[in-house]
Structure 1
Amino acid sequence: MEYRKLGKTDLKLSAITYGAFAIGGSMWGGNEKKDSISAIHASLDNGVTSLDTAPFYGLGLSEELIGEAIKGKDRTNIQLLTKFGLVWDGSNQGKGDFFFDAGTEAKSIPVYRYGSKKNIIKEVEESLKRLGTDYIDLLQIHWPDASTPIAETMDALEELIKQGKILAAGVCNYDLAQLKEAEQSISLASNQIPYSMLNRGIEVGVVPYAIENNIGLIAYSPLERGLLTGKYFKEATLKTEDHRNGYFDQFDPKKVKAFLNSIAPLAEYKNVSLAQLVLRWTTLQPGITIVLAGARNAEQAISNAQAINVDINADELTFIKEHLLNL
């Protein structure tokens, strides 16, 4: 595994980091607790020392599963990355900026973006309890909140750093203007942002700014939630309640399939899976510090960790880039 320094902080994170959205179950068609715990253990056993989660993932379940999985392990060898600012519980419901309804036909669960100082302090205490720890390595606002001044949110993060409850502060889904405004109040460790072969918008603006100002970039959805593994063009199917039934609609399936077919021979030549080739490509892109990869069982977790061993030379990077132009 490769370990990379996150921005201006002293944190060293695994280049392939475990993404814990799917094990929360909700929006993913459920989960299997035993498999989820096994996936976390397999990640740790294969050099993935960094685990990224959020209270919203499974409405607390993802953090609880991570807390259970790491119980009794050497905490100094594990980096916990979590978030705040998506609220759904009764005490905060209706506060902040309405985001979407995460419920079902039978039960409505309205979710709000809410980054007030009071809410951040509350959420951190809840996350610490679920994770079974007394500090969080990297705390990130999950989504920008238009109802709260960015300076207020950053002030709360600064206070938590001074208290020792978090080691570093980051943001997620911030555009260039929001990054610049946040940096007026705090030295940001990172910006967690969607980035993949199919979604490269941050290469203009965000990436150059992050490089120039030494802000780490955490790429999420590098496999576009499984689409770039190629399996959904074969036998794999999605459960009715899986959010990817709608998520995949943003992409042109014919173009994506043609692209994957064009790079498949390279994966075959290297005796690796398409997923491993795609993950490794993502870790090699300018400005990208770490890449999040989800796994719902040990087999997937091991495969993700081993992606770091895929050797892609300059000519092969050019080959992939040429085919990206067709997307």
Structure 2
Amino acid sequence: MNYTTLKKTDLKVSEIGLGTNAVGGHNLFQNLNEADGIDLVRAALNNGVNFIDTADIYGLGRSEELVGEVLKEFKREDFVVATKGAQNFTNLDDVKTDNRPEYLRDAVEKSLKRLQLDYVDLYYLHFPDNETPFAESIGELARLKEEGKIRAIGISNVSLDQLKEANAHGDISVLQSPYNMLDRSAEADLLPYCVGNNISFIPYGPLAFGLLGGGFTKDSKLDSQDWRNSVPLFEGEQFQRTLEIVEKLKEVAIQKETSLPNLALAWLLAQEGVDAVIPGGKKKERILENIQASDIILSKEDLNRIHDILNKN
């Protein structure tokens, strides 16, 4: 496993992290097995992955609780944990985005309790509420950082203008945003801004929410309750075109003697500005495979071939 240090921090993280929205994320996925989720997190930490990513909205706190149960088995210096807040689920019948300072402070305290920690290494403003000025929300996170409750500030799901506003005083260390072989929109402005302003870019959905796992066929259908039904890549003709791209990428993976998911992760790590990736999963076998991506070296020829496949479709 290769390791890197997140920008503006002393947080040394594994290039391959672990996303845990399917660990207790019962509001996102159907029929999750919590024992499998616990085994997944434990297997990651036992095999060189030290960067664990969760959020309070995953399972309305349940993901943090399960992750926390595993983290207490390890020394504090052996892991870097990131969580996120901004979804006010105090009233379960009316979950809404909330960036108010008083809410964020309360959310951080609740996350710490669920994770059974004294501090969180990286705390993200998960979504902007488009009402609270970033000077107030990021300002409150900066105060929490000064108090030692969080060690670094991140932000997610923002436009370039919002990122610039949030980073007005250089407080943002990490941006988490969609980016993968099938969705390269971040290359237009977000990724270049991060490179130019010393911000680590960490893609979410690095495997295109399963499409780059290689298991979908033209007849595949998501469960009606699956949140991915709202992702354009899974819709109609675009889904069919995406599967054609995936088949060509599989050929590259075979030639590199690796899997499609690992090719997709290695490709992201080869992009300037991307410091780590956080693939998710439901069972430990997935992370045991993904960690091998850290050792894949893509040549200029490999990258050019992948570029041609992605650009011709």
TM-score, normalised relative to structure 1: 0.90
C-alpha distance in structure 2 between counterparts of 1:51 and 1:205, whole Å: 27
Conserved 8 A contact 1:154-1:185: no
State how 1:148-159 maps to structure 2 within 5 Å. Answer: 148-159=132-143
Check if 1:86 corresponds to 2:87.
yes
Does 2:46 correspond to 1:45?
yes
1:296-323 C-alpha deviation (Å, 9 max, x unpaired): 1110111111121222211011000000
Identity %: 37
Q: 2:145 aligns with which of 161, 167, 173?
A: 161
Encode CA deviations 1:94-118: one digit per residue, 9 max, x unaligned.
xxxxxxxxxxxxxxx4321111110
Stretches of structure 2 lacking an aligned partner (at least 5 in a row): none
Residue 146 of structure 1 deviates from its aligned partner by: 0.9
Partner of 2:72: 71
Q: What SS class does the counterpart of residue 39 from structure 1 fall into?
A: helix
In structure 2, the residue matched to 1:22 is 22
The whole-number CA distance in structure 1 between the counterparts of 2:220 and 2:27 is 19
- Alignment RMSD, CA only? 1.7
The residue aligned with 2:253 is: 267
Report the equivalent of 1:281: 267
Could you tell me which amino acid in structure 2 is paired with residue 268 of structure 1?
I
Change (3 A) 1:110 1:51: same
Is residue 142–residue 171 contact of structure 2 (8 Å, CA) maintained in 1? no
Aligned length: 310
2:215 is the counterpart of 1:231: yes
Residue 205 (str. 1) matches residue 189 (str. 2):
yes
User: Displacement of 1:238 after TM fit?
Assistant: 3.8
Whether 1:217 and 2:205 are equivalent positions in the alignment is no
Q: Alignment partner for residue 175 of structure 2, among 191, 207, 212?
A: 191
2:37 aligns with 36
Aligned counterpart, 2:3: 3
Deviation at 1:69, TM superposition (A): 1.1
Partner residue, 2:276: 290
Letter in 2 for 1:214: N
The answer as to whether partners of 1:194 and 1:222 remain within 8 angstroms in 2 is yes
Amino acid at match of 1:316: D
Partners of 1:269 and 1:198 lie apart in 2 by 20
Does structure 2 retain, via aligned residues, the 8 Å contact 1:154–1:186? no
User: Which is worse superposed, 109-118 or 59-68?
Assistant: 109-118
Going from structure 1 to structure 2, the CA distance change for 1:35 and 1:197 (only over 3 Å counts) comes to same
* Pairwise CA distance, 1:236: 6.5
Q: 1:236/1:309 Cα in 2 relative to 1: closer, same or farther (>3 Å)?
A: farther
Deviation at 1:187, TM superposition (A): 2.1
Which residue is equivalent to 1:98?
Answer: none
After TM superposition, the structure 1 stretch with the greater mean CA deviation from structure 2, 262-271 or 220-229, is 262-271
- TM-score when normalising by structure 2: 0.94
| Deviation of 1:178 (Å) | 1.2
In structure 1, C-alpha distance between the alignment counterparts of 2:228 and 2:282, rounded to whole Å? 15
Question: Once structures 1 and 2 are overlaid, which stretch shifts more, 232-241 or 25-34?
Answer: 232-241
Deviates more, 1:48-57 or 1:203-212: 203-212
Post-superposition offset of 1:218: 0.9
Paired residue for 1:106?
none
Worse overlay, 147-156 or 262-271 = 262-271
AA partner of residue 54 (structure 2): T
**1:237 Cα deviation from its structure 2 partner:** 5.7
